């Protein structure tokens, strides 16, 4: 049923940035509404061990996010299971339309929609998505017990996924377009020591091959970026881990963005090009993209929203 909700502060997104904004905004008595989106808990729900969240030597990503949600709720944030499909920042109160049919209006908004996995854009990648091609090892790794798989990429995500997948797969080939990884050194060490992982340097995926009936992956074709030579590799699974792009589609035409869609914020601030609109986390951050930095920006956004709203009263 169509419904209208007004709030002083609307928070869009339920990753570390959104939930932290919820904690701080609640304690500032702003009675925030937080809309969770399609991925309640955000990117950390797609991983296993998180080893760099201060205070926890090791914590499971999904558990951490359940705790953050409970924390925001306990402080007074109203958590709503909905997805914002349209956001109008042209006049105040700002208006957000939810997939549920609810229209949310608000005096200020914190955008914390984070980032989403990037794909290579190959036709055959699209064809086998969900049938051997995946961007989430934690979600799909279990299906590849005793099989050979490949991981594409050379960052933290690719290396963590390759390591995680060795729990199931008989062999993991890490395919990277250079011969240098951009992951943390501790992860690189673990990768190099793992006998189940074989790096394939200076190669790019050009095609996923497989069967149509039933739809399934049987191998890949890779190109040597130095020589152009194409070789085939047998595998049952392809995990694409080539980074993340900001989820800025709601605001791309309304706010200043840069570097492929990251929302621009003022120096030392989460304020965007529209007064009353604050952006936090991976949506604005092309540099650090960490849970702790996202949470820090969520805190800043809530405090800045509080000051903005107080200044208007
Ligand atoms: P996200 O976590 O991306 O959350 C975005 C939220 O916005 C989601 O809840 C989504 O549902 C919501 N949303 C999006 N669009 C809409 C919409 N239209 N309407 C409503 N809601 C919407 N960082 C670390 O510090 N340590 C790690 O060990 C670590 N491991 C990682 C492992 C993996 C596999 C990945 C992918 C990332 C990892 N990161 C890690 C990075 C970390 O997860 C991100 O930096 C962090 O989650 C960003 O937080 P965020 O709140 O900005 O957004
Ligand atoms: P990333 O750091 O941007 O790395 C992406 C990797 O994919 C790079 O190695 C890149 O190659 C490669 N790549 C990009 N486009 C490609 C293409 N078209 N074809 C082939 N290869 C391509 O992304 P990420 O690993 O997803 O990490 C994103 C953020 O989350 C980072 O800030 C990261 O620190 C954070 N994160 C942190 C942890 C942790 O703290 N443990 C874990 C996961 C993620 P080049 O190197 O050649 O550019």
Q: What is the DSSP letter of 53?
A: B
* Per-residue tokens: 23: 């904690």
* pLDDT at residue 313 in the model: 76
The string of DSSP letters for 229-263 reads -EEEEE-SEEEE---EEE--TTTTTTS-EETTTEE
Atom of ligand 1 nearest to the CA of 16: 51
- Are 85 and 139 in a shared domain? no
In the chain (313 residues long), the average pLDDT of successive 10-residue segments reads 89 98 98 98 91 94 97 98 98 97 98 95 96 91 95 96 96 98 97 98 98 96 98 97 96 96 97 98 94 98 98 85
pTM of the full structure = 0.90
What's the first-to-final CA gap in the chain, in angstroms? 33
C-beta of residue 7 within 8 angstroms of C-beta of residue 32: yes
Report CA 86 to chain centroid distance, whole Å: 20
State how far the Cα of 61 lies from the Cα of 46, in Å rounded to an integer.
Answer: 7
Q: Is 197 helix (H, G, I), strand (E, B) or coil?
A: strand
State the ligand closest to the CA atom of 97.
Answer: 1
- Out of 240, 258, 289, pick the residue that ends a domain: 240
- Under DSSP, the state recorded for 186 is H
In the DSSP assignment, the letter for residue 2 is: -
Verify whether residue 136 is a known catalytic residue: yes
Q: Are residues 278 and 135 in the same domain?
A: no
Cα distance between residue 96 and residue 86, in whole Å: 6
Q: How far, in Å, CA of 283 to CA of 250, rounded?
A: 11
My answer on whether 222 and 255 are in the same domain is no
Q: Whose CA is nearest to atom 53 of ligand 1?
A: 114
Q: Give the pLDDT confidence score for residue 49 in this predicted structure.
A: 86
Rounded CA separation 148/198 (Å): 11
> What letter would DSSP give residue 303?
H
Are 125 and 100 contained in the same domain?
Answer: no
- Same-domain check for residues 249 and 101: yes
Lookup: tokens for 153: 């990429």
Residues 25 and 82 both lie in one domain: yes
Closest ligand (CA of 159): 2
- Which ligand is closest to the CA of 203, given by its number? 2
Mutate to test the pocket of ligand 1, among 11, 12, 13, 165 (most ligand atoms within 8 A of CB): 13
Which pLDDT score is estimated for 282?
Answer: 97
CA-nearest of 142, 171, 176 to 159 is 176
Claim to verify: residue 204 and residue 165 sit in the same structural domain: yes
Ligand 2 closest atom vs CA 244: 26
pLDDT at 39: 96
Domain containing 234 — which CATH number? 3.50.50.60
Q: Is 183 a catalytic residue?
A: no
Find the domain containing 139 and state its range: 119-240
At which of 240, 261, 285 does a domain end?
A: 240
Total domains, the chain: 2
How close is the Cα of 248 to the center of ligand 1, in Å? 13
Pairing of strands 262-263, 257-258: antiparallel
Cα separation, 93 vs 252, whole angstroms: 19
Co-location of 159 and 202 in the same domain: yes
Q: Is 157 close to ligand 2, i.e. is its CB under 6 Å away? A: yes
CA-CA distance, 64 to 50, in Å (whole number)? 9
- Give me the pLDDT at residue 1, please: 53
Q: Does 223 lie in the same domain as 124?
A: yes
Indicate the SS3 state at residue 44: helix
Both 157 and 218 in a single domain?
A: yes
Q: Are residues 172 and 64 in the same domain?
A: no
Residue 86: per-residue pLDDT: 98
From 240, 269, 294, give the residue that closes a domain: 240
Using only the alpha carbons of the chain, give its radius of gyration. 21
Counting ligand 1 atoms within 8 A of each CB, the residue from 113, 165, 249 with the most, and so the one to mutate, is 113
Residues 219 and 268 in one domain: no
The finding on whether 276 has its CB within 6 A of some atom of ligand 2 is no
């Amino acid at each position: 049923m169509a419904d209208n909700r007004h709030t002083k502060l609307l928070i869009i997104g339920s990753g570390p940035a959104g939930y932290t904004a919820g904690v701080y905004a609640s304690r500032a008595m702003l009675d925030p509404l937080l809309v969770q989106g399609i991925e309640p808990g955000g990117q950390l729900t797609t991983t296993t061990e998180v080893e760099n969240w201060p205070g926890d030597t090791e914590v499971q990503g999904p558990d951490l996010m359940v705790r953050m949600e409970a924390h925001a709720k306990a402080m007074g944030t109203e958590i709503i299971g909905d997805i914002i499909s349209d956001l109008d920042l042209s006049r105040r109160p700002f208006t957000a339309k939810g997939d549920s049919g609810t229209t949310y209006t608000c005096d200020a908004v914190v955008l914390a929609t984070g980032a989403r996995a990037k794909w290579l854009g190959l036709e055959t990648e699209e064809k086998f998505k969900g049938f051997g091609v995946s961007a989430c090892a934690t979600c799909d790794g279990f299906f590849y017990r005793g099989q050979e798989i490949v991981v594409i990429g050379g960052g933290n995500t690719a290396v963590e996924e390759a390591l995680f997948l060795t729990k199931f797969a008989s062999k993991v080939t890490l395919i990277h377009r250079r011969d240098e990884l951009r992951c943390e050194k501790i992860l690189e060490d673990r990768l190099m020591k793992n006998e189940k992982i074989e790096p394939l340097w200076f190669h790019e995926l050009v095609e996923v091959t497989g069967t149509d009936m039933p739809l399934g992956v049987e191998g890949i074709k890779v190109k040597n970026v130095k020589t152009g030579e194409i070789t085939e590799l047998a595998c049952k699974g392809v995990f694409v881990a080539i980074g993340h792009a900001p989820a800025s589609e709601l605001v791309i035409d309304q706010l200043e963005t840069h570097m492929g869609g990251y929302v621009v914020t003022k120096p030392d601030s989460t304020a965007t090009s529209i007064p009353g609109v604050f952006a936090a986390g991976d949506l604005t951050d092309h540099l650090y993209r960490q849970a702790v930095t996202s949470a820090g920006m969520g805190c800043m956004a809530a405090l800045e929203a509080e000051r903005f709203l107080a200044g208007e009263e």
